[in-house]
Structure 1
């Protein structure tokens, strides 16, 4: 596992330390020593812990390259999330809370996560990715562990609006075979959620070697497969999940599918009519008329 101090975010703090004021260096030392604590601190709490003013905290985050404290804290949150074990995550949760309180907290966390995604995502970036999907003859959707659930969901939705969709599981080594023999015009969508399985990193490298177009949908700007992609869509979470949080990514996938659907015109109707005929002919889905009969 990569040491926290070797991570790009904290390396940035270390590299800027010599140019900081004495109080700024106090802040940098505290953050480097306590990243898991700082990620949950407000500017006031961090200032009190380091015995400096809140204004000093605000100046510090600007000096190390961030527009504001919320952006700095999001980057720190992404950093901490990538290296926390299952035991660490459970320790973050108060298992002794009453059930109703825990339910409300979880709902409000997901609302916070959706707001964070809404504020951070650029619609034009999503539309550019949708254009690449529309223009590609063959599409592969790849995921692993938790992200395979999202990959299957995304791939399943895409089959409802167009053909030539294949869903691959990253843990299956034959995925590399199928990507190797895929036509040069193929597009690969890789979905990655922390803690980022190494098999997805191998697949991202392989996709680049094969010359395919890669779209990465991830939950963090620090995701290790982002750098291999032509298009990167990040749906960040404001909170660190215990086992995983998919609400924001699912919402993003739903929007991409709707954006793409509007580009097929009459071809979409023909495609869906063909599917519906198959459902009826093969008695695939529940039919109320048949049931009543």
Structure 2
């Protein structure tokens, strides 16, 4: 499967130590990967909410003589036409949002061509008993869905979907009972509390595995293993099909690393049948 423009941009940024402002530019470029090769430095600066000189310094940090050289490079590796002009006239705004999510899923599929990060995450999550699963605000549904299914194969899953003063207490309790890893779902807009919680969790000794919308999200520097899955931005509220699917992929990898996962599933099915839990 060929890489999409966002995946190629991610590779361009790998191995570079970027400042917070430069990570913001990189994040913006990944989210608008199809259009970026056609933007001026001023337009990119406005889109990212930074100054035009910051865009120039960003290009130099990547090894280019300046932004024009970076843009020429992007045009060489990008599709010949902008995503919007290729099909914008063919679809209404709702269809465009769906097509955007299809593109996000294609990008995720391309990233999963290397299964090693997901397999490593699965091993880390399987080995942590208990396993805290964090997701606040927009990411709470992703965390809740993962925790619901994970509880069928993992012996002790602890959902952390509410912030406040109790959050730190619950993480401390998980540590006292033997937790070694924490799974975090982090989606925009990123709550400050999530960033602070991950920072404290790592200091306390937890290995942080994160599903985020970008490798340049604010949680990146507080994660030991971050696996990105883009969100859709075509509607008034972001859509998160790719992060949800990535959560299920991580669930599969975790189950593969749990020796008794199948036995637990069969036991649940037997008990559910005895209780008449589901309508067939």
Fold shared by both chains (TM-score > 0.5): yes
CA gap of 1:101–1:261, structure 2 versus 1, over 3 A, is same
Displacement, 1:61? 4.0
- Aligned match for 2:116, one of 120, 124, 127: 124
* 3-state secondary structure, aligned to 1:68: helix
Q: Is the 8 A contact 1:220 1:235 kept in 2?
A: yes
Q: TM-score, normalised by structure 1?
A: 0.65
Instruction: Give me the whole-angstrom Cα distance separating, in 2, the residues matched to 1:210 and 1:274.
Output: 35
2:156 maps to 1:150: no
TM superposition shift of 1:177: 0.3
Whether the 8 Å contact between 1:170 and 1:199 is mirrored in structure 2 is no
Aligned residue number for residue 216 of structure 1: 210
Contact 2:146 2:247 in 1 (8 A): yes
**Matched residue SS, 2:257:** coil
Q: Match for residue 291 of structure 1?
A: none
Q: CA RMSD in A?
A: 3.4
Tell me the secondary structure at the aligned position of residue 200 of structure 1: helix
Query: How far, CA to CA, are the matches of 1:220 and 1:251 in structure 2?
Result: 15
The count of corresponding residues between Structure 1 and Structure 2 is 221
Deviation at 1:237, TM superposition (A): 4.0
Partner of 2:272: 279
2:44 aligned partner: 31
Mark the runs of 5 or more structure 2 residues left unpaired by the alignment: 1-18, 27-38, 50-65, 79-87
State how far apart, in whole Å, the 2-side matches of 1:214 and 1:71 are.
33
Provide, for residues 103-138 of structure 1, a one-character-per-residue CA deviation record: whole Å limited to 9, x for no partner: 321221111111222234542111111111122222
Per the TM alignment, residue 158 of structure 1 is displaced from its structure 2 partner at its CA by 0.7
Conserved 8 A contact 2:121-2:253: no
Tell me if structure 2 keeps the 8 A contact 1:141–1:151.
Answer: yes
| Corresponding residue for residue 68 of structure 1 | 74
1:96-111 equivalences under 5 Å are 101-111=92-102
TM-score by length of 2: 0.67
Structure 1 position 276, deviation (Å): 2.5
Larger Rg: 1
CA distance in 2, matches of 1:203, 1:283: 41
